[in-house]
Amino acid sequence: MTSVHRYGIMCARRFHDGNWRRHLLQWFRDFMQGRYGSDKLNTTLLILYWLFSLLFGLSFFWLFRILSTTCIALWAYRFFSRDIVRRQAENRKYIGIAHPMSGHVSSFSKAMRQWYYHSKSLKKKQKDTASHRYYRCPHCGQNLRVPAGMGMISIRCPKCTAVFAKKT
């Protein structure tokens, strides 16, 4: 089922049935069979490539161009490599170095999320202070919103079901 193309290249007729995307994906799957592919180190190399390329585009400093080219060359070498055992060892070594630093990054991102949600709740509190009051449950610390101007009321916490009295 092969035919000779007009330039003398052998090609299979199955690629001419209109499903060229499916055939291209199948060709790529066949090509990648037995190759390493991607991992955390490769992802980091790609991020560094984009970062150095951006810095080179902004400053035209030649060192950024060399660093970005080195990162993408290392990425391609590792991605298409057939020496899977060595690439896995490199990735384990990278994770051993980068993992302790990831704790600092995750704690920073957690602090940023807490700050964002706290500032969001403060804005909401400021918006409806005329119509509602906010109290903290003395037992579990849950923030509770109750209507203002009701006088002395007993408030039941929905989280721990504790009941306490406050003036609104």
Q: What are 41-57's pLDDT values in tens digits? A: 999 999 999 999 999 99
* Predicted TM-score of the model (pTM): 0.48
What are the φ/ψ torsions at residue 104 (nearest 5 degrees)? Answer: -70, -40
Q: Judge whether 78 lies within some domain.
A: yes
**Domains in the chain, number:** 3
Q: What are 76-106's pLDDT values in tens digits? A: 999 999 888 998 999 989 888 887 766 666 6
Q: What mean pLDDT do residues 71-78 have?
A: 92
Q: Judge whether 109 lies within some domain.
A: no
Contact yes or no for 12/24 (Cβ under 8 A): no
The one-letter amino acid at 157: C
Task: Please check whether residues 26 and 64 belong to one and the same domain.
Answer: no
Domain that holds residue 148: 124-168
Task: Please check whether residues 41 and 1 belong to one and the same domain.
Answer: no
Please name the residue that has the structure tokens 């092969």: 2
Q: Judge whether 110 lies within some domain.
A: no
Task: Please check whether residues 60 and 27 belong to one and the same domain.
Answer: no
pLDDT of residue 2: 52
Residues 163 and 133: their CA atoms lie apart, in Å, by 16
Residues whose CB falls within 8 Å of the CB of residue 95, separated by 6 or more in sequence, listed in order: 40, 41
Contact yes or no for 137/121 (Cβ under 8 A): no
Q: Could you give the residue ranges of the DSSP H alpha helices within the chain?
A: 20-32, 40-59, 62-79, 84-127
Q: Judge whether 117 lies within some domain.
A: no
Residues 57 and 41: their CA atoms lie apart, in Å, by 24
As given in the structure block, the two tokens for residue 5 are 């193309």
Task: Please check whether residues 40 and 27 belong to one and the same domain.
Answer: no
Contact yes or no for 48/94 (Cβ under 8 A): no
Task: Please check whether residues 41 and 90 belong to one and the same domain.
Answer: yes
